Amino acid sequence: MTELVHLDVEDSIGVIRLSRPTMNALNAEMTEGIRNAAEDAAARPDIAAVVVYGGPDVFAAGADIKEMQPMDYTDAFVRGARLQKAFDAVASIPKPTVAAITGYALGGGCELALACDFRVAADDARLGQPEILLGLIPGAGGTQRLPRLVGPSRAKDLIFSGRFVDAAEALTIGLVDEVVPAAEVFETARRRMRMYVGGAAVALRAAKEAVDRGLETDLATGQEIERGLFSGLFATKDRTLGMQSFIENGPGKAKFEGR
């Protein structure tokens, strides 16, 4: 684990903390740190949900351009694969995740936020995919995750123009889920994740898998994925506890064990 990326755990909520002064520019070391932290968070049974956070000033202002500038085709191909693998590791965490966005989430920083299930942004945050202004396109999922989230037309507007959007517009187009004062971003993100602590962890994992895999295929295949995951949950202790509690005590009172 690099000093530039930390995984901390408190009250069953993991926090993947980016910590590279001054703008959390995503260099190769940070990329590997994000991948390692995501894989660790996915594997640890003491973590129920995850916050990705860049600190009180900036989420991540994009890739380290000085590191990228001398790259040739082969270098860029390898670098792009590593960046995609890191963000895919975040997207694959089988637990609820949220990006807590302060300051800027641009380029790779925006793509990292897109890899999370939810996004909470500061009211003065700015988001965007400005790679076109460098003669490039997003290379870590932006051309794929952004249109799936906000629709192809809005995604093309952002990617073709490279313009930044403020928090209000990001909320309107569905790029973020909640906007709060900057000082409240981290705690708001933690509060969103706190509701999943003590929840039916296996069912949450299945729900996330069903949605994410279903988005990649046709409706009929998606329903087959859903049916398999749904029926598989009948083999879990949590399903037994949940149904028994519902019958005896009504909804919302079950004490789950995560198995």
User: How many whole angstroms separate alpha carbon 259 and alpha carbon 257?
Assistant: 6
First-residue to last-residue Cα distance in the chain: 29
Catalytic annotation present for 111: yes
User: How many whole angstroms separate alpha carbon 14 and alpha carbon 42?
Assistant: 10
Of 112, 118, 125, 134, residue with least CA distance to 30: 112
User: How many whole angstroms separate alpha carbon 109 and alpha carbon 104?
Assistant: 8
In the set 3, 29, 111, 187, the catalytic residue is: 111
In the set 131, 184, 209, 257, the catalytic residue is: 131
Question: CA 131, 132, 138, 142 torsion: positive or negative?
Answer: positive
Catalytic annotation present for 67: no
The residues carrying an active-site annotation are 111, 131
